Each structure stands twice: as structure tokens, then as C-alpha cells.
Amino acid sequence: MTPGMLLLSVARRIPGRVAVRAGGTERTYGDLFDNAARFAGALTAHGLSAGDRVALMTENRIEALECYLGCLLGGYTAVHVNDRLALPEVQSIVDDAGAAAFVAYGRSVTAPVVLEPVFDAAPIGPRLVPPTAPAIIGYTSGTTGTPKGVVITQENLNRIILHMPVHDGLRPGSRCAFTGSFSFVAGIWGVMLPHLYLGGELSFMAGLPPAEWIDRMIRERSNFTYVPSPLAPAFIEEVRRRPEVLESLTGVLHSASAMRPDVMRELVAVIGDRFVETWGMTETGAPVTTTVPADWTTSCEADDIYASAGRPANIASVRVVDPSGAPLPPGEEGELLVQSETLFAGYYRRPDETAAALRDGWLHTGDIGRVDQAGYVYITDRLKDMIVTGGMNVYPAEVEQALSRMPGVAEVAVFGAPDERWGETVVAAVVRAPGHTFDDQLVIDWSRRHLASYKKPTAVMFLDALPRNAALKVPKPRLRELYARR
């Protein structure tokens, strides 16, 4: 059974139940899947066949969900395009995926076929496609600065949908206050689709002020929500103000970026064992570690549960290895390797990079960490040169490539600096070419025109020359030190 058939079978049992709410609009399960089938029919009318890639760049609206469901029903491969990307980045993904169609809301993008989603074609029934066929391709930047397509197959997506309720403690009919967005592909396969599988209700709440977010959850009797690190302090204060939200709320998820241990401790003090901490990445499909309610009691055996990402889920294993690949004992730091039933199939049309990441069935995550005696996982550093700002991954190489094309930039190096709100922020160290005297705002403006907004530097440090080590490489720790001394 394909994911489309799996979800359609649920919808047929409860056609009159509300499936999703957004901006004063709602859809029942019957209407949601009727529209999804019509969208699949519209793709067919445009000459697409099962297996074709359909690039989707969508805002937070119900029609966006119908587009993804339509691709699953029609056997098309949905290519996720972050709607926060700049136009050159969007075009790069569309070209790399070989998309037969591009579907967008509210933006004009040059692509093979641009469709403003309409549901005016006859519905089509669900198509059978091979279990190994790609269902969704989610693009993630690489250390080279080139986006790579993470392939989640039909069978893999099924495993994710079936597993996530166990991972996050979701119950049938769960009402989700969805604070994520379609910018994050993991929110689609990790939160939205599993809630539909449970016959639950999705309510889009991204961007709401914290007070309205809590008020909406109280009104709608929400059972589950996601709290990103930047919103955690405000969420804590609003729950203190309106503790009645906890009468229905049974699960509060955090993931994607580090939360300060003191903030996490305060959050748990307010919401108790409803809190769920996880760790994973696009390549793992579902998260690979999780906490459970007992972890927030005195019986927890973790060295420090507030610094931990929990223990491996029932479908996953985590190993710590040294640079030679030899396993390390509990407590010692090394690269974290992951084995899971939901691992991606590989990078789209990139066999060499797939082989480098997936070795002997283990994903080399590029994260540095340790596992304590009780099995709890701790992420302490990154082997990859990557910045995580507000849960979004930014590879310095990608930003460096964009800035190196700016007239007057002789050299540039990009690094992450600690930021209280976002975890990390992007900083550029720039060497001006002789005769050029531009300021930091021009550098930031250039970045904004060529990159997604979250990738732009928030600060620029001008230097006469970049520091280099004996191997002529720019040591990023030295740049961070120079920046901290400013």
C-alpha cells in the first residue's frame, strides 16, 4: 500500500470530520482528498505521468497540503522547495530535480511549467507505484554549497507515517497546533501526514503571537504542538498566564536546534512530562532519538537529561566512532553514526555523495557527540562546517560562494556565532579589494538578493587579510575569537 492509499483509506472512513484549519478556512477529510485527487488530475491533464517530479513551493495554506497529497495519490514525486529561498536557489533545485512541473503560490518563478494550483480537472484514483519509487525529495545544502536532494521513497514514507505517532506520543484523533511551516519538509512527513493517518486535525498557527497561539490552543482543545527554540521563553510565560491550556495539551515537541538547558529546565517545570526532545535530520526521515515522560522524573538515569537528545527510538541505533571508524566506549566523543528503518534512500542522482554518507548501512551524520552509560545521546559539536540558525541549516560554503561574486570582495569566510534567540547567527569576515570602501549593509543587501533571508549574514567583520594556518586554510575558531573580541 502506498502512502497515498494509506491516507486515502483513513479519509474514506471519516469523510465528514474536519482535517485541517487555516486562516478561517477548513476542510473535511472528504473535501481535502477530493481536491487532492483533482490536483493529481490537473497534473495528468498537463501531460505528466506517474514518476514525474513536481516541484512544490508553497506557503502555509490548505491548498499546499492538497498538492502534496495529490502527488502521493497520483504517483508523482513531490520535490520540496523552501519558499524562503531566493530565485537563483529555486531555479537550481528545479533544474537539479529535472522537474516536469513547478507549482507555486504567490511568486513568479521561471521553471519548466508554472502552475497556479487549481482543482478543475476530474479526480483520478490512487495509482500503484513501486515501493522504491521516490515519494518526496527534500533538498538540503551541502558543504560544497550545492543543494542535494534527499530521496524518501514510498515505502520509507510509509514507515515514517506509521512510526511518528509512537515517537511523539500521538493518539488517534490528535488535534495538532501546527506552528511549523512548509519551509521545513520534515514538518510535512513528520507531523502533518502522521496526524492525517491518525484521523486527527491540523490547525495552522505559524506566525501567531504567543498569546494568540495559546488562546487558539485553548479554544480548539489542542493536544500537540511544536515549540521552536526562539519561541520557548514566550511560550513558557504564556502557559503560566493561561495554564488551562494544559488540560488538553499532551505533547510539546522540540527539535531542529539546540535549546539552552536552563530554558529547557524552566519549560519542563511548567509543562511537566509533556515535553518531547528529539534529534534527527532530513536524511534520517524520522528523528532517531527521543525522550519519554519518565525522563523528566528523578528516576532518569541520564548524566544530564537537559543537555541530552534522549535515547535512540525503537527503530534506530546510534554509534560513536573515532576518525578511523572504530567504535568508542560510553562517554567518549566522536562522530555520531545512525542506523534506522527510516533512513533516506540516497541523494538524488549523486551516487558518490550517497556512498560517502551511507557506509555499510550507517549514516555518517557529521555531528560530534557521545552516548552515556544509560544510552542517552549528547550532540556537542559538528564535524561539518554548518551553522544552525533558528532550526535552519546554513552551510558557510554556500554563503561564501554568493558573497565571492560581489564586486569589491577580495576574500570572504563565513562562520557561526552564538546568538541567544536563534542559537547561532551567520557572520561574514570580508576582505575588501583595493579601492573599494563599501560597508556591512551592502554585503547584507547583496546576500538578501542572492540567498534565502535566513542565510544572510547578520554581521560583517572587515579584515585586512583572512587568518590562515600552515595548510593555508582559514581557521573558523580564530575568526570566532576575533569576532568575540570586537
Where do the domains of the chain lie? Answer: 3-307, 387-484
Instruction: Say yes or no to pLDDT of 120 above 80.
Output: no
Confidence of residue 391 (pLDDT cuts 50, 70, 90): confident
Confidence of residue 83 (pLDDT cuts 50, 70, 90): confident
Confidence of residue 421 (pLDDT cuts 50, 70, 90): confident
Q: CA 260, CA 60: separation in Å to the nearest integer? A: 28
Instruction: Say yes or no to pLDDT of 110 above 50.
Output: no
Confidence of residue 121 (pLDDT cuts 50, 70, 90): low
Instruction: Say yes or no to pLDDT of 115 above 90.
Output: no
CATH fold match for the domains 3-307 and 387-484 = no
Average pLDDT over residues 460-470: 87
Q: Which three cell numbers stand for residue 37?
A: 485527487
Instruction: Say yes or no to pLDDT of 201 above 80.
Output: yes
- Of the candidates 248, 301, 291, 240, which has an alpha carbon nearest to the alpha carbon of residue 267? 240
Amino acid, single-letter form, for residue 365: T
**Which CATH superfamily does the domain covering 387-484 fall into?**
ANL, C-terminal domain (3.30.300.30)
* pLDDT of 109: 45
Crossing angle (nearest 10°) for helices 396-404 and 440-450: 110
* pLDDT of 111: 45
Instruction: Say yes or no to pLDDT of 472 above 80.
Output: no
Q: Which three cell numbers stand for residue 412?
A: 570572504
232 φψ region: left (φ > 0), alpha (ψ -120 to 50), beta (else)? alpha
Show Cβ contacts of residue 441 under 8 Å, excluding neighbours closer than 6 positions: none
What single string gives the DSSP state of each residue in 141-164? Answer: --TTS--EEEEEEHHHHHHHHHHH
Q: Which SS3 state, helix, strand or coil, does residue 249 take?
A: coil
Q: Which three cell numbers stand for residue 204?
A: 495552522
Average pLDDT over residues 157-171: 96
Q: CA 358, CA 343: separation in Å to the nearest integer? A: 9
Instruction: Say yes or no to pLDDT of 212 above 90.
Output: yes
| pLDDT tens string 11-26 | 999 999 999 999 889 9
Instruction: Say yes or no to pLDDT of 183 above 90.
Output: no
Average pLDDT over residues 386-400: 85
Instruction: Say yes or no to pLDDT of 139 above 50.
Output: yes
Average pLDDT over residues 349-362: 96
Of the listed ranges 70-74, 247-251, 279-283, 392-396, the one predicted with least confidence: 392-396
Instruction: Say yes or no to pLDDT of 63 above 80.
Output: yes
Instruction: Say yes or no to pLDDT of 293 above 50.
Output: yes
Confidence of residue 143 (pLDDT cuts 50, 70, 90): low
Q: Which SS3 state, helix, strand or coil, does residue 175 take?
A: strand
Q: Which three cell numbers stand for residue 404?
A: 565571492
Instruction: Say yes or no to pLDDT of 373 above 80.
Output: yes
Put simply, whether the predicted model's pTM sits higher than 0.75 gets the answer: yes
Q: What is the mean pLDDT of the chain?
A: 91
Yes or no: say if 73 and 37 are a contact pair by the CB < 8 Å rule: yes
| pLDDT tens string 252-264 | 999 877 788 888 9
- Contacts of range 412-420, beta carbons closer than 8 Å, 24 or more positions apart: 413/466, 413/474, 413/476, 413/479, 414/387, 414/457, 415/387, 415/476, 415/479, 415/480, 415/483, 416/387, 416/388, 416/389, 416/480, 417/459, 417/480, 417/483, 417/484, 419/389, 419/458
* pLDDT of 411: 86
Highest mean pLDDT among 266-275, 364-373, 407-416: 266-275
Average pLDDT over residues 302-331: 95
* pLDDT of 196: 98
Residue with cell 544509560: 374
Does the domain formed by 3-307 have CATH 3.40.50.12780? yes
**Beta bridge pairs of residue 254:** 277
Instruction: Say yes or no to pLDDT of 477 above 90.
Output: no
Confidence of residue 393 (pLDDT cuts 50, 70, 90): confident
Confidence of residue 244 (pLDDT cuts 50, 70, 90): very high
Q: CA 469, CA 291: separation in Å to the nearest integer? A: 41
Of the listed ranges 119-128, 224-233, 351-360, 380-389, the one predicted with least confidence: 119-128
Confidence of residue 112 (pLDDT cuts 50, 70, 90): very low
Confidence of residue 28 (pLDDT cuts 50, 70, 90): very high
Instruction: Say yes or no to pLDDT of 106 above 60.
Output: no
Q: What percent of the chain has pLDDT over 70?
A: 95
Higher pLDDT, 127 or 99: 99
Higher pLDDT, 394 or 245: 245
Cβ atoms within 10 Å of 238's Cβ, excluding its own: 21
| pLDDT tens string 434-457 | 899 999 999 999 999 999 999 999
